[in-house]
Structure 1
Amino acid sequence: MKLLQSLAFTVLAYSFGYSQNCNCTENYNWIKNTFEENDAGYQYIIDKKGNNAYQTHNQLTANRIAKISDYNQCKIELENWLKFFRQDHFYIGLTDQAKSNQKKLENFQSVTANPIQLEKFKKEILSKKSYSIEGLWKAKNLLIAVKKINNEFIGSVVETKSKYKLNDVIFKISADMSSATYFTSNYKPESIQQVQYLGNNVLQIGNRFFEREFPVLAYENKIKEYFQIKSSEKPFGYKKDENTVYIYIPTFDDSKSEIDQLFKVLHSEIIKTENLIIDIRDNTGGQDQSYSSVISYLYTNPIQLVLPEFYSTELNNQPMKVIIENPSVDEQTKKMYKELYDKLERNRGKFINLSSNENVALIKREKMLDFPKNVGIIINENNLSSAEEFIFMAKQSRKVKLFGRKTGGALDVSNMVDLVSPTGDFEFSYCVSRSKRIPDNAVDDMGIHPDYYFDSSIPEVDWIDKVKEIMSFWK
């Protein structure tokens, strides 16, 4: 969830110098001090876990990082330090400078395969009595030839518009499809334990998906749909059958116009169809305003919205000052932010409700739509932040039931702002607001639980069919 929606990213830049090795201790001390002084969730966890536990955690972290000069290892330790407070809603990332230095430290060499003669390769594939994953596979900006060599399937580049070069090996998969090694764009090998061959046309290696290009084989509709869900960056939807409209929303980040347009196109179908399925698997959030138009299709009664309170510090208030001083911002907007900024500045070191003097707001609509009669929302562990806020609002409707797995739990402290460390090595994001829900109705690290839980015996590719099956009984 981004600060007051319109602020989006606010990166505070520092002057920094070049360093070959990572000074992890210096970066840790800066992140630790910044978090202690400014994060809205810091004191809540200290009060909950105790200062002694925190000091022990700090000492153990300091001991580990003292020996680290590797940027990636430092990143892991910084993330582990932050996980004392919560499992998500913070961010540690390497800057371009650090990535460049890390590449020099690691100096991974590309693994290359013998050049593939495409026409000869295609003839070899077609001559086989049965098909495996051998063939041509496409991913974003890549065409990959997969060929079995000894006891491995080797995937190498035959066409590229990316950082990979021709004949670079992208992955190696064991003959029994139980594990793989994936080579990242800087050629670092990653060990992968999840490999799936879905139908004839989708190959999943960890969280990466590839679609078959050749040979052309029968494509099951549910496999094609699943690939679209896992690869699409934009919302999509359609009338699935006479009783169901299906909509997938991959993100709420700067997607309001796309979501609004999709619902506008499908409006006539939605308001005469009994069931609506909204799939937000892997939607990690964005801006609350992105889903505002969706609420009308779910609405049955006033929706309670628990308001956040903002922690006022000089650093936390800086984004509003940037807007006020921006010559491209109109005067009315500047005036609004100036009033908010002044209110925060008058209350340094305190939590302030910027919206009103109430802890809870009610969202009301003039009427409830007759259709859809039932709304199923598909969720999983990758739903965070604004996606969870949407779920919180939606589940208050009598029409709505949740399906899937519990969400990730990153909502109680929110509204992230972004910084760059003084060394220029790390991007760092923390939160400036906390919800009045805590501690009585906390979400962080616990998530929001579905009404219908899908355990591991139900493959994710079958989730939509399972939701349809359950909803068919709601007559």
Structure 2
Amino acid sequence: MKVKHSLLIAAIFVSCLTFGQEPCNCLDNLQEAILKTEENYAGFPDKIKPANKTPYDQLKNNLKIKAIDTDTPLDCYLLLKEYVNFFYDKHFRIEYNAEIDSSVISDIDRMDSRLGQTGDHSIEGIWRDVNNTEISIIRHGENTYKAVKRSSENDHFPKGFVYFTLTKNRNDFSTKLYNRNINIDIPAKKTGNLLRIWNFQLWAKTGAALSKDETEELESWRGNNNGLLFKKLNADFSYLKIPTFENNEGVIHQLVTESDSAIKNTKYLIIDLRGNGGGSSGWVSLIPYLATNQIDQGETYLRVSKENVSKKLQDLDAFANHPIPEDYKKYFPEEILNRYKETYRELPETTETFYPLPSVSFPLDSVLTRPAKVAILVDEFGGSSTEYFFYLARQSKKAITYGRPTIGMMDYAGMSNPTKLPFDAFRLYIPIEKSAWTDENPIDKTGFTPQIMINREQENWIDYVMEDLPKM
């Protein structure tokens, strides 16, 4: 999710040149998006029922009329965004990757002069990241703030360039990044002297007296480490902070391996997943610390269509037609392996709307005596694979979940490969699978609720858990 500035900027400007020469027929793109959604989206049969079929058809017709007179890629993207957002699924995404917001605020020095009048608790002020980029966040309307470049060693944008725009939403913010057009809101939160842009960025307020923990957290983002951190809080508590699961399974595994001895020699482990919007499956390395029994993933359900079946057969081929590597055989007992082979044979022939897909379980090698209890912290920024790990952790007898309800974006999944649209700068990510819980207990509108809700300021959550966990 994070890309180095220099590489990103180069890619963007090449893309702008390439895509700027390509015509964008908005109606063609909309009709293709509708076709692929109705054929392949796992949520479509669940979300389009007789009760809302008429509003859905009206939306399609209205958008098609608008599309005829829409001739710029950005306007067309906004129209596609309106269609995709009808389904209220944060995993269902449309992105426009060619055009950046190149806004520049020229009178930054004049605006800077009033930043000191805003108080320590304001989002306004001067901020820096761990790579020495410095920005001013200034009010730009009633509930809008611009993050404006003051200085940076990492790009060649002019002073006053707007890196991102914040919009106030109750106690938090939504973010529009200069280099990403995406249909879902990117959340942001100010906690103490730190500003978190979901699991993408971390900023510290310049001139503020950072606490030891805040300084440590900021430093943990250096070198593309993305906030991964392990430490012992005291003789009884180990602490593991994982702000993202995005393409970092190997890094998480390495950190956990290096910290294994310390974790197994403390009575309690805190796994801090606050701000973690998901990604891949780095959580696998954490399973041994909370397992008290076999952890079952349960079936997911593939929306049956020609394209979805073709994609899934490619995934299943390794299990159905090739030997299982020795290190993985414990996850594939004969019964499970036969189920994978059966699925590979049956999928091309099934006439069902959804087909249940097998999954592996995590067998219990042993129950670790330490850590005796594991606290898992989540907040309203936790989504996707973080929510999936939360779901699995509920099978453990020694895992306790703390915090606030998660964001809600895991009812439908399996959208790693984008669907091509006629205009090449558009990327449509369609979830093709339904999660095990979706039919009975959907979470896209509610998130998962932790066992212990914490209503304190986030700076005090760790202290709260350290007081409460030994009582459980």
Q: TM-score, normalised by structure 2?
A: 0.71
**Which position in structure 2 is the counterpart of 1:459?**
457
Shift in CA distance, 25/161, structure 1 to aligned 2, threshold 3 Å: same
- Deviates further, 304-313 or 225-234: 225-234
**Which position in structure 2 is the counterpart of 1:143?**
133
**Residue pair 1:380, 1:404 contacting (<8 A) in 2 also:** yes
Shift in CA distance, 240/349, structure 1 to aligned 2, threshold 3 Å: same
- Deviates further, 157-166 or 62-71: 62-71
- Aligned counterpart for 1:223 among listed residues 206, 214, 234: 214
Q: CA deviation at 1:65?
A: 4.8
Output the amino acid matched with 2:264: I
Equivalent residues in 2 for 1:209-288, closer than 5 Å: 209-211=202-204, 218-225=209-216, 227=218, 233=226, 235-288=228-281
Q: CA deviation at 1:345?
A: 2.3
- Quick one: distance in 1 between partners of 2:357 and 2:164? 51
**Which position in structure 2 is the counterpart of 1:429?**
429
**Which position in structure 1 is the counterpart of 2:96?**
94
**Which position in structure 2 is the counterpart of 1:110?**
104
Shift in CA distance, 30/145, structure 1 to aligned 2, threshold 3 Å: closer
**Which position in structure 1 is the counterpart of 2:10?**
none
Output the amino acid matched with 1:222: D
- Aligned counterpart for 1:302 among listed residues 294, 300, 305: 294
Shift in CA distance, 182/400, structure 1 to aligned 2, threshold 3 Å: closer
Q: CA deviation at 1:169?
A: 6.8
- Quick one: distance in 2 between partners of 1:251 and 1:208? 11
**Which position in structure 1 is the counterpart of 2:418?**
418
- Quick one: distance in 2 between partners of 1:373 and 1:247? 15
Equivalent residues in 2 for 1:342-353, closer than 5 Å: 343-347=346-350, 350-353=353-356
Q: What secondary structure is seen at the aligned counterpart in 2 of 1:224?
A: helix
- Quick one: distance in 1 between partners of 2:431 and 2:147? 44
Q: What secondary structure is seen at the aligned counterpart in 2 of 1:292?
A: helix
Q: What secondary structure is seen at the aligned counterpart in 1 of 2:47?
A: helix
Shift in CA distance, 21/136, structure 1 to aligned 2, threshold 3 Å: same
- Quick one: distance in 2 between partners of 1:81 and 1:114? 37
Q: CA deviation at 1:395?
A: 1.6
**Which position in structure 1 is the counterpart of 2:117?**
none
**Residue pair 2:382, 2:406 contacting (<8 A) in 1 also:** yes
**Which position in structure 2 is the counterpart of 1:78?**
80
**Residue pair 1:222, 1:461 contacting (<8 A) in 2 also:** no
**Residue pair 1:143, 1:160 contacting (<8 A) in 2 also:** yes
- Quick one: distance in 2 between partners of 1:412 and 1:203? 29
- Quick one: distance in 2 between partners of 1:179 and 1:162? 28
Q: CA deviation at 1:229?
A: 7.3
Output the amino acid matched with 1:90: F
Shift in CA distance, 468/79, structure 1 to aligned 2, threshold 3 Å: farther
**1:29-52 deviation digits (Å, cap 9, x = unpaired):** 111110101112211222375423
- Quick one: distance in 2 between partners of 1:473 and 1:297? 19
- Quick one: distance in 2 between partners of 1:72 and 1:140? 33
Shift in CA distance, 449/389, structure 1 to aligned 2, threshold 3 Å: same
Output the amino acid matched with 2:349: R
Output the amino acid matched with 1:144: E
Shift in CA distance, 46/169, structure 1 to aligned 2, threshold 3 Å: closer
Q: What secondary structure is seen at the aligned counterpart in 2 of 1:294?
A: helix
Q: CA deviation at 1:469?
A: 2.7
Equivalent residues in 2 for 1:380-459, closer than 5 Å: 380-416=379-415, 417-455=417-455, 458-459=456-457
- Quick one: distance in 2 between partners of 1:280 and 1:425? 33
**1:177-213 deviation digits (Å, cap 9, x = unpaired):** x99999965799xxx99885845xx467898643367
**Residue pair 1:134, 1:146 contacting (<8 A) in 2 also:** yes
Q: CA deviation at 1:401?
A: 1.6
Shift in CA distance, 109/445, structure 1 to aligned 2, threshold 3 Å: closer
- Quick one: distance in 2 between partners of 1:396 and 1:40? 26
**Which position in structure 2 is the counterpart of 1:314?**
306
**Which position in structure 1 is the counterpart of 2:469?**
471
- Aligned counterpart for 1:27 among listed residues 26, 29, 38: 29
Q: CA deviation at 1:448?
A: 0.8
Q: What secondary structure is seen at the aligned counterpart in 2 of 1:241?
A: coil
Q: Where in structure 1 are there 5+ consecutive unaligned residues?
A: 1-15, 122-129
**Residue pair 1:421, 1:428 contacting (<8 A) in 2 also:** yes
Higher relative contact order, chain-length normalized (CA < 8 Å, sep 6+) = 1
**Residue pair 1:277, 1:376 contacting (<8 A) in 2 also:** yes
Shift in CA distance, 139/238, structure 1 to aligned 2, threshold 3 Å: same
- Quick one: distance in 2 between partners of 1:179 and 1:284? 16
**Residue pair 1:111, 1:169 contacting (<8 A) in 2 also:** yes
Q: CA deviation at 1:378?
A: 0.9
- Deviates further, 60-69 or 366-375: 60-69
**Residue pair 2:191, 2:459 contacting (<8 A) in 1 also:** no
Q: What secondary structure is seen at the aligned counterpart in 1 of 2:134?
A: strand
Shift in CA distance, 147/250, structure 1 to aligned 2, threshold 3 Å: closer
Shift in CA distance, 426/145, structure 1 to aligned 2, threshold 3 Å: closer
**Which position in structure 2 is the counterpart of 1:164?**
157
Q: What secondary structure is seen at the aligned counterpart in 2 of 1:293?
A: helix
Q: TM-score, normalised by structure 1?
A: 0.71
Q: CA deviation at 1:273?
A: 1.4
Shift in CA distance, 181/422, structure 1 to aligned 2, threshold 3 Å: closer
Q: CA deviation at 1:310?
A: 2.0
- Quick one: distance in 2 between partners of 1:70 and 1:246? 50
Shift in CA distance, 30/196, structure 1 to aligned 2, threshold 3 Å: same
Larger Rg: 1
Q: What secondary structure is seen at the aligned counterpart in 2 of 1:278?
A: strand
Q: CA deviation at 1:285?
A: 2.5
Output the amino acid matched with 2:355: I
**Which position in structure 1 is the counterpart of 2:58?**
56
Q: CA deviation at 1:370?
A: 1.2
**Residue pair 1:113, 1:156 contacting (<8 A) in 2 also:** no
Shift in CA distance, 443/114, structure 1 to aligned 2, threshold 3 Å: closer
**1:240-261 deviation digits (Å, cap 9, x = unpaired):** 1122111112233332222222
- Quick one: distance in 2 between partners of 1:180 and 1:284? 15
**Residue pair 2:230, 2:241 contacting (<8 A) in 1 also:** yes
Output the amino acid matched with 1:453: M
